[in-house]
Amino acid sequence: MTVNVTKYDGTKQAFSREKIIRTATRMGATRQAAEQIVDEIENKAYDGISTRKILQMLYTRLKRHKPTLKHQIDLRRSLSLLKSAPDFEQYIQQLLREYDYKVTPNQIIHGKCVQHEVDAIATKNNRTCFVEVKHHIKYHTPTGLDIPRIARAVLEDITEGHQLGQNNNKIDYAMIVCNTKLSDYAKQYSDCRKISHIGWSSPQNQDLQTMIETKKLYPITILRGLNTQTRNRLTSNGIITLKQLTQKSLTELEHQTGIHKNKLEPILERVRAILSEN
């Protein structure tokens, strides 16, 4: 009997062993462990089972193979917990720097018609783009067609503005980075108009989660049990990633954030465990 899975938007698709295996291996399981896990899930799956239920089953079983999962929440959810501005924007700027982009944040560029505020200008391999960062608190909300259409219009205006001498920025292309999936129309339009885009699960092998996991650039919001007050203390002092927490001593962190050492020490222990195992 074919088992269909109910997605978050209510649509259904056939149960995919390989998709679950990819998710498990991306989260640190070996191929052998991932196949064992998917066998267990498949045996318990029923027609109409929700994606959420499958992910819960996967997460529970992964803890046997990766003990540090008890210290962290799902990456997709953790990204949604960042404040849209400035936290998520700063996080994406850091991520691009990890991939050798030279990043200049929060720029105003004069176009032919109007001036435009862009989240960043990024340069790599002698090509420069402006970066449009889109953050959704509800992480199953797709990034729609309006975002690349606006990016296209901005690119045209600042390109014409450069040709007229109204700005000194030679922009070669536009880049959209978002924490959710792009809608099919948004991807189709972006591909047609040569707009670079990085989102959840796309483009293949260069998607947001792969980029994050390859560089271990996890947001601090991935820490399980991190209360809102502590999280806000860290982010308001420019600490957005787990890596940043490990780059200073306890004394330096206490002085910078105002968080007492006794509270910071167990946080750092969990951070080091996550980074060493991933």
Q: Which residues contact 238 (CB under 8 A, 6 or more apart)?
A: 90, 244
Whole-number Å distance between alpha carbons of 206 and 63: 26
Options 3.40.1350.10, 3.40.50.720, 3.40.630.10, 3.40.710.10; which CATH number does 84-214 get? 3.40.1350.10
Whether the pLDDT of residue 71 is over 70: the answer is yes
- 3-class DSSP assignment, residue 59: helix
Provide the phi-psi class of 9: left if phi over 0, else alpha when psi is between -120 and 50, else beta. Answer: alpha
Please tell me the predicted confidence (pLDDT) of residue 278: 62
CA angle 32, 33, 34 (to 5 degrees): 90
Cα separations (Å) of 270 from 46, 56, 64, 126, 199?
36, 22, 17, 39, 28
Q: Which residues contact 148 (CB under 8 A, 6 or more apart)?
A: 174, 176, 182, 186, 189, 190, 193, 195, 197
| Cβ-based neighbour number of residue 246 at 10 Å | 12
For the chain, give every domain's residue range.
4-65, 84-214, 219-277
* pTM value surpassing 0.85: yes
Each residue's pLDDT tens digit, 149-197: 999 999 999 999 999 999 999 999 999 999 999 999 999 999 999 999 9
Q: Which residues contact 84 (CB under 8 A, 6 or more apart)?
A: 135, 137
For the domain covering 219-277, report its CATH number: 1.10.150
Please tell me the predicted confidence (pLDDT) of residue 167: 97
Whether the pLDDT of residue 221 is over 80: the answer is yes
Give 135's DSSP letter.
-
**Residue 1's pLDDT band (cuts 50, 70, 90):** low
Q: Which residues contact 182 (CB under 8 A, 6 or more apart)?
A: 142, 143, 148, 176, 190, 197, 199, 202
Please tell me the predicted confidence (pLDDT) of residue 145: 98
**Residue 73's pLDDT band (cuts 50, 70, 90):** confident
Q: Is the dihedral of CA 78, 84, 86, 90 positive or negative?
A: positive
Most confident of 15-29, 63-77, 140-154: 140-154
* Token duo for residue 230: 């502590």
* CB neighbour burial string for 40-70, b if at least 16 within 10 angstroms, e if fewer: ebeeebeeebeeebbeebbbebbeebbebbe
Each residue's pLDDT tens digit, 19-44: 999 888 877 788 899 999 999 999 99
CA angle 216, 219, 220 (to 5 degrees): 120
Each residue's pLDDT tens digit, 117-137: 999 999 999 999 999 999 999
* Token duo for residue 1: 């009997």
Cα separations (Å) of 205 from 100, 144, 198?
17, 21, 10
Question: Residue 92: which of 230, 196, 225 has the closest Cα?
Answer: 196
Whether the pLDDT of residue 277 is over 80: the answer is no
Q: Which residues contact 81 (CB under 8 A, 6 or more apart)?
A: 219, 221, 231
Please tell me the predicted confidence (pLDDT) of residue 57: 93
